[in-house]
Each structure stands twice: as structure tokens, then as C-alpha cells.
Structure 1
Amino acid sequence: MPLSELAVPNRVVGVRSVRKKLDAGKLTRLFLARDAHHSLVSDLASDAQKAGISVEWIESMAVLGRACAISRGAAAAGILVLQERESPEVRRYL
């Protein structure tokens, strides 16, 4: 089930937050609610597809919000690119 992917700390929720991360190239996967207003999510979907990011359509904003552990609906959510950890040699000199 794709919604289980949102049960991670490296997620972003909300149209504006998702837009910022998408523009910065920091998303690996995008989740959009089917019942969200078309003007909110259509540009996100097309830009994500152009960038080669997979887009999952979720049945409703309520379901997407619950999957993101928030108390209201969400039109968009995304999984962030994991940052590689610094090597022990780098940490030693910090």
C-alpha cells in the first residue's frame, strides 16, 4: 500500500511545502488527493512528471491527511530525498 510510505519522518505535507521541495529537486515521490481543487494540484502533478517523480493519486484529502498523521485533510504530500550521512572521518574534524 503506497500510503504506508508516508509513515516516515522525511515527509512534507501541504501544497506550498511540497511546491518548495519539488522546485528544489528534493522530492522522490508525490501524493495528491483526487478531491483536492484542480488548480491546487494540477501544476504539481505535471511538474513532478516532468521531473521524473512518481505521482500517486489518493482517493481523498481526508485519507491523505490521516496517512500523514495530521488532524485535517491534505491536498498534497511528498517523500523527501534522504541525505547521505557524513562519513566518520568528516565528523571527526567538525
Structure 2
Amino acid sequence: MLEQLKNQNKLVIGTKQALKAVKEGRAQTLFIAKDAEKHVTRNIEELAKEMQLQIVYVDSMKKLGKACGIDVSAATAVILK
């Protein structure tokens, strides 16, 4: 599943942008790093569950960032429809 991220041109990285995409109904799949701070990911996780979005949990923020093709950690990422 993570391999898909690298090849996505419709990718949003970061909780603020991802939350916005989920709220607007543009999100297809949500990726959440397991080691991300709960207060950072709680809102987007709850909203994604309400909207019945696919949620993929990634082992670490570092792995998620790398999978997204960035050199920094990422708490969340979203593949857009």
C-alpha cells in the first residue's frame, strides 16, 4: 500500500491539508503514522471513520514521509480521488 504513495500525483501531505481534503470529500485513502501524536491525528481519524474512508496505518512518521517522497517525517497523508 505504501508503494502507491510514491507514484501518486494526487497526494496531500500533512494533517492540515489532509483534513481539508477529507472535509471537502476529495480524499480516497488516509495514511496515519502510528507514532504520530494522538492530538494531531485524532480529528482527521474520527472524520475519516465517519466518512467511511479507507485508513492505512503506517509504522512510523519517518516511513510515511519517505513513502511520500519527502525528506521529513509526516503524521498523515491523503491520496485524492
Task: Please report the TM-score for the alignment, with normalisation by the length of structure 2.
Answer: 0.95
Larger gyration radius, structure 1 or structure 2: 1
Matched, 1:6 2:5: yes
CA RMSD of aligned residues (A): 0.6
Correspondences of 1:35-46 after superposition (within 5 Å) = 35-46=35-46
Q: Give the number of equivalent residue pairs.
A: 80
What is the alpha-carbon distance in structure 1 between the residues aligned to residue 4 and residue 11 of structure 2?
Answer: 9
What is the alpha-carbon distance in structure 2 between the residues aligned to residue 47 and residue 40 of structure 1?
Answer: 13
Larger RCO, structures 1/2 (Cα 8 Å, 6+ apart): 2
Task: Tell me by how many angstroms 1:42 deviates.
Answer: 1.3
Task: Tell me by how many angstroms 1:4 deviates.
Answer: 1.2
Identity of aligned residues (%): 30
Task: Tell me by how many angstroms 1:38 deviates.
Answer: 0.3
Q: Which runs of 4+ in 1 moved over 6 A?
A: none
Task: Please report the TM-score for the alignment, with normalisation by the length of structure 1.
Answer: 0.83
Q: Which consecutive unaligned segments of at least 5 residues does structure 1 have?
A: 82-94
